[in-house]
């Protein structure tokens, strides 16, 4: 695997750290800015809103720029957003800075995934995406706990300065390691990228992401009360248990990348089916501390096995212009975050018990399987249509040839 993937992973590590660290810093931010913790929680929403808006928007407006330039520019915007967060004088200014920090998130992962797959042989595409995403999962294991600890001892502003430093390292890595053949603008441009989004298979793939990862966030958003009130863990143990989730997510991400290179669709179906089983068993697994720890780890594995195949499927369905669709998949991931948490909250508020959000997540995972099944049926129907073979060859090779001539 090329060293350029390391540069992408460093950027992903910074993005993952700043996305999730606010959850651990909410009490410190609320105390310093003299606001309530629920009000401080709007900082989490501001970042997520930035991701959803910025992912397709920035991918679209940079469609004519070289992907190497886009990645470096996006990371520069990330550094600026986190530096402004560190010096924000009040709650409203911090909201604006967090929104700015979230804008490049989805586009970086989307364009980065396209670059990652272009650096390797076709049989290693999913693995290359999983190695870039490795930065995101490692951020949950090491980056977020370390950044939270820094914020608790040096102040939350120091955390965002530290994340800005990670962004500067990522910029240097991208400039040094991304090959110069990515300095040319893609041949398709904005019109081609928008045309790719008119494809039904692309939208079915995005729908699978929303339902599949909505299943994860329906349960994960309420994992703390499940662990403390249902499984009986002390509050001080939750950080370690969340690190176990990160370990499971890292293992699942690497496993999914390796398996998807051999059989992408079966890996996706297997990951979604595993989520159904794990989430449906949560009410039983939360009855004992040891099984609760196993459940948290298995949830990380099952959820992130699907990450690479979902990203790759979206890109393949938009093979003529994958950057915008790939970035839109990151927006879909954050919609799943918000939607899953909302649905899990409804199940909890309805009085069905502390583990009800996990059961709701199992239902969402079944929905994800159904959408993936419809996508498979559409693919089979299109593959059997007259002239499908010729259209597939043209769709796959003509854009590559055009971009090669453009270079």
Give whole-number Cα distances, 352 to 201, 276, 283, 296, 347, in Å.
36, 18, 11, 20, 6
Whether residues 178 and 215 fall in one domain: no
Pick the more confident residue, 401 or 305: 305
Whether residues 152 and 194 fall in one domain: no
Whether residues 124 and 262 fall in one domain: no
Full domain range(s) for residue 329: 188-407
> With the CA atoms of 97, 101, 106 and 111 taken in that order, what torsion angle do they form, in degrees rounded to the nearest 10?
130
Give 399's pLDDT tier (boundaries 50, 70, 90): very low
Residue 364 is predicted with a pLDDT of: 95
User: 43 CB contacts (<8 Å, ≥6 apart)?
Assistant: 22, 26, 29, 94, 95, 98
Whether residues 203 and 179 fall in one domain: no
**Which of the listed residues 185, 213, 243 is the one where a domain comes to its end?**
185
- pLDDT tens figures, 315-357: 888 766 677 778 888 888 888 887 888 888 888 888 888 889 9
**Which of the listed residues 185, 220, 237 is the one where a domain comes to its end?**
185
DSSP string, 241-309: HHHHHHHHHHHHHHHHHHHHHH-HHHHHHHHHHHHHHHHHTHHHHTTSHHHHHHHHHHHHHHHHHTHHH
pLDDT at 400 over 70: no
Whether residues 281 and 387 fall in one domain: yes
Residue 137 is predicted with a pLDDT of: 84
Residue 394 is predicted with a pLDDT of: 45
Whether residues 164 and 200 fall in one domain: no
Whether residues 143 and 258 fall in one domain: no
Alpha-helical segments (H) within 119-199: 125-138, 144-154, 156-177, 189-196
Whether residue 215 contacts residue 275, with contact meaning beta carbons closer than 8 Å, is answered with yes
- pLDDT tens figures, 272-284: 999 999 999 999 9
Residue 101 is predicted with a pLDDT of: 92
**What does the alpha-carbon distance between residue 299 and residue 276 come to, in Å, rounded to a whole number?**
10
Whether residues 175 and 211 fall in one domain: no
**Which of the listed residues 139, 161, 185 is the one where a domain comes to its end?**
185
What value does the mean pLDDT take over residues 122-144?
85
Eight-state DSSP code of residue 236: G
Residue 182 is predicted with a pLDDT of: 63
pLDDT at 243 over 60: yes
Whether residue 12 contacts residue 135, with contact meaning beta carbons closer than 8 Å, is answered with yes
Whether residues 385 and 253 fall in one domain: yes
pLDDT at 1 over 90: no
What value does the mean pLDDT take over residues 55-63?
84
Residue 207 is predicted with a pLDDT of: 92
**What does the alpha-carbon distance between residue 129 and residue 116 come to, in Å, rounded to a whole number?**
6
Closest CA to 186 of 196, 177, 172, 176: 196
Q: What is the CATH number of the domain that holds 2?
A: 1.20.1250.20
What value does the mean pLDDT take over residues 18-30?
79
Whether residues 169 and 208 fall in one domain: no
Give 25's pLDDT tier (boundaries 50, 70, 90): confident
- pLDDT tens figures, 96-121: 999 999 999 988 988 898 888 888 88
Max distance between CA atoms of the chain, in angstroms, equals 66
Residue 396 is predicted with a pLDDT of: 47
Residue 371 is predicted with a pLDDT of: 93
> What is the pTM for the complete model shown?
0.79
Residue 294 is predicted with a pLDDT of: 94
Whether residues 263 and 152 fall in one domain: no
Give 407's pLDDT tier (boundaries 50, 70, 90): very low
Residues of the chain with pLDDT > 90: what percent? 32
- pLDDT tens figures, 198-234: 778 888 988 999 999 899 988 887 888 888 888 888 8
Residue with tokens 């096995």: 305
Residue 404 is predicted with a pLDDT of: 47
Average pLDDT, the chain: 84
What value does the mean pLDDT take over residues 249-262?
90
Whether residues 301 and 397 fall in one domain: yes
Q: How many domains does the chain have?
A: 2
């Amino acid at each position: 695997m090329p060293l350029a993937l390391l540069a992408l992973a460093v950027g992903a590590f910074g993005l993952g750290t700043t996305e999730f660290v606010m959850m651990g810093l909410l009490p410190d931010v609320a105390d310093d800015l003299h606001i309530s913790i629920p009000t401080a929680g709007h900082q989490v929403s501001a970042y997520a809103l930035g991701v959803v808006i910025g992912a397709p928007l920035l991918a679209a407006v940079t469609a004519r720029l070289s992907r190497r330039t886009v990645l470096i520019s996006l990371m520069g915007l990330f550094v600026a957003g986190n530096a402004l967060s560190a010096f924000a004088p009040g709650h409203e200014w911090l909201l604006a800075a967090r929104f700015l920090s979230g804008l490049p998130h989805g586009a970086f992962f989307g364009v980065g995934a396209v670059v990652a797959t272009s650096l390797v042989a076709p049989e290693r595409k999913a693995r290359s995406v999983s190695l870039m995403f490795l930065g995101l999962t490692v951020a949950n294991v090491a980056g977020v706990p370390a950044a939270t600890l820094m914020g608790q001892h040096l102040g939350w502003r120091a955390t965002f300065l530290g994340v800005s430093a990670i962004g500067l390292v990522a910029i240097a890595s991208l400039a040094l390691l991304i090959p110069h053949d990515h300095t040319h603008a893609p041949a398709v441009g904005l019109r081609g990228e928008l045309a790719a989004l008119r494809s039904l298979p692309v939208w079915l793939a995005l729908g699978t992401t929303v339902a599949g990862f909505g299943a994860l966030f329906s349960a994960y958003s309420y994992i703390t009360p499940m662990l403390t009130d249902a499984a009986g863990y002390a509050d001080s143990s939750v950080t370690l248990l969340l690190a176990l989730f990160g370990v499971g997510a890292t293992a699942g991400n690497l496993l999914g990348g390796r398996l998807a290179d051999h059989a992408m669709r079966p890996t996706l179906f297997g990951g979604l089916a595993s989520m159904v089983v794990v989430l449906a068993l949560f009410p039983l697994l939360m009855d004992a501390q040891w099984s609760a720890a196993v459940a948290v780890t298995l949830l990380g594995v099952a959820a992130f096995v699907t990450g690479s195949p979902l990203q790759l499927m979206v890109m393949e369905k938009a093979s003529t212009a994958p950057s915008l669709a790939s970035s839109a998949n990151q927006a879909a991931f954050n919609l799943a975050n918000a939607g899953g948490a909302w649905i899990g909250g409804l199940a909890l508020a309805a009085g069905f018990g502390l583990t009800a959000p996990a059961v709701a997540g199992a239902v969402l995972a079944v929905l994800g399987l159904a959408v993936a099944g419809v996508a498979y049926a559409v693919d089979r129907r299109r593959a059997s249509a007259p002239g499908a073979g010729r259209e597939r060859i043209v769709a796959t090779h003509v854009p590559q040839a055009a971009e090669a001539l453009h270079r």
